Amino acid sequence: MIKNLLIFFILLYSEAIFPILPKEAAIQAIEITQNKTAVIFRDGSLYFKGFIGQGSFQIYSIIGNMISEKDVQNFSQFKINTSLEMGNMYIIRVIIKGKSKTFKIIAS
């Protein structure tokens, strides 16, 4: 009986000890920390989505050979035509403000 009462009080006061965030606050926290960036290859062009500002990008073959490098003045909705071989995998490295993000794409 005492054990059950102890468990009841622990559960009753656990919210005061470990506050539970409202569902909206948890969703907002996730949205703030997630970067919604993408590099897409379609119809012979590379599309850069979700990047803002000045930076550069590099294209590497899957074995690490650099294929191309380009500086970009404004990444917002940036698109570039490129001649990647169909069926091959490439690594795209985007660098903005000293931070880099890497993507793998398959040219198809």
pLDDT digits (tens, 9 = 90+) for 20-54: 555 555 555 444 445 688 999 988 899 999 898 89
pLDDT bin (cut points 50, 70, 90) of residue 83 is confident
Distances (CA, A) of 104 to 51, 69, 89, 94: 16, 16, 7, 11
Domain tally for the chain? 1
Domain, as residue range, for 20: 2-106
pLDDT at 32: 47
pLDDT at 102: 93
Q: Which CATH number is 11's domain given?
A: 2.60.40.3080
Instruction: Give the rounded distance of the alpha carbon of 99 from its chain centre.
Output: 12
